[in-house]
Amino acid sequence: MTRVAVFPGSFDPMTNAHLDVARRASGLFDRLVIGVLNNPKKRPLFDIDERVALIRDCVADLGSHVAVEAFDGLTVEFARHRGAGFIVRGLRAVSDFEAELQMALTNRKLAPEVDTTFLMTALEYGYVSSSLAKEVAQFGGDVSAMLPAPVAKALAERLSDGPRV
């Protein structure tokens, strides 16, 4: 039996916490599809193609069983279309739990055949979030511990283009 999982998120941009979850999930599943949500309601710092390209760069060493794709609509439909029986999400702290529980229960109602699995974020990345990394970078702080090197570089370049955060 082939175990396929999707790892959905906004990834604006991918952090070391996301990458840690992707790396560990890649060891648990036969195929892992990282799904980057194209949400027209949000105005991301990186557009959908940039986010997909950055993640591909970051996960290049994880193996050919890891794919990165943009998606829109429901995560469970994305999972179904990819033949995935699992959704992977990272949990950092108790504060993540409530929203994640609500999402997992909603997704189970919509697609009972798709199970949500949680990986606890590594201790050293428990504080890391995309939005905080963007804020720190915006004010000139060092984000090298929070972001993979290609992402930190892309963020510095984007912020030097002018204020968009």
Residues that bind ligand PNS (CB under 6 A): 8-10, 37, 74-75, 103, 106-107
Is there a catalytic annotation at residue 134?
Answer: no
Query: Is residue 81 flagged as an active site residue?
Result: no
Whichever of 116 and 142 has its CB closer to ligand PNS, that residue is 116
Is 44 within 8 Å of 51 (Cβ atoms)?
Answer: yes
Residues 6+ apart with CB under 8 A from 132: 146
Residue, CB closest to ligand PNS: 9
How far apart CA 132 and CA 25 sit, in angstroms, is 24
Sheet containing 86-91, strands listed edge to edge, beginning at the edge strand earlier in sequence? 66-71, 31-37, 4-9, 86-91, 115-120
> Which residue of the set 31, 51, 89, 92 is catalytic?
92
115 versus 140: smaller Cβ distance to ligand PNS = 115
The type of residue at 163 is P
144 catalytic? Reply is no
153 is catalytic: no
Running DSSP on this structure, what letter comes out for residue 61?
G
Q: Give the shortest CB-100-to-ligand PNS separation in angstroms.
A: 9
**Shortest distance, position 107 Cβ to ligand PNS, whole Å:** 6
Residues catalogued as catalytic: 18, 42, 92, 130
